[in-house]
Amino acid sequence: MDIEIGSNLYQNCDGTIEIESIPQIEVAIPKPGGPLRISCVLYDESSRLVGKVVDSTLAFNERRAYELSRTPVSLLLKNVETGNVVLQVELQDSGRVVFKQGELLTVKGHVLKISPTEWRVEKRYSSGKTQDLKGKSVAIG
């Protein structure tokens, strides 16, 4: 599977995205063309689990902090209080999964920011790189 995160292209990955060495997001496409299935865990500043998305459905949503909308080829997760996009993901016709934008906390309490040009966690960032992962996980931060 090919995943694009903030202008970085990760080719031939297994669908797992590790953020600061911890698996936090899983991407699956059960059959060509979709549906897109996203699973992820959401933390607060104290590294406490406050939300969980399983197969593109909110399975746990403490304090109703998140709002999720989806289609067979996209997912948009927003923070209700701030209106900020937590995760916006689309499946393109080519089969590539594109993380368009996002802002979520890692298990270590750091902010992962995804923009169309880069991803950034604390002082670490990446922009415009292409990697062949040969069946391994995407590593961010």
The tokens describing 13, both together, are: 């990955």
Contacting residues for 17 by C-beta, under 8 A, at least 6 apart: 3, 5, 23, 24, 25, 26, 27, 137, 138, 140
Q: What is the pLDDT of residues 62-74, one digit of tens each?
A: 889 999 999 999 9
Query: Is 141 or 13 the better-scoring residue by pLDDT?
Result: 13
For residue 125, is pLDDT > 90?
yes
28 — pLDDT class (breaks 50, 70, 90): very high
For residue 87, is pLDDT > 90?
yes
3-state secondary structure of 25: strand
The ranges assigned to domains in the chain are 3-140
The whole-model pTM stands at 0.94
DSSP tag of 3: E
pLDDT for res 78: 97
Strand pairing category for 3-5 and 138-140: unpaired
Q: How far apart are CA 74 and CA 72, in angstroms?
A: 6
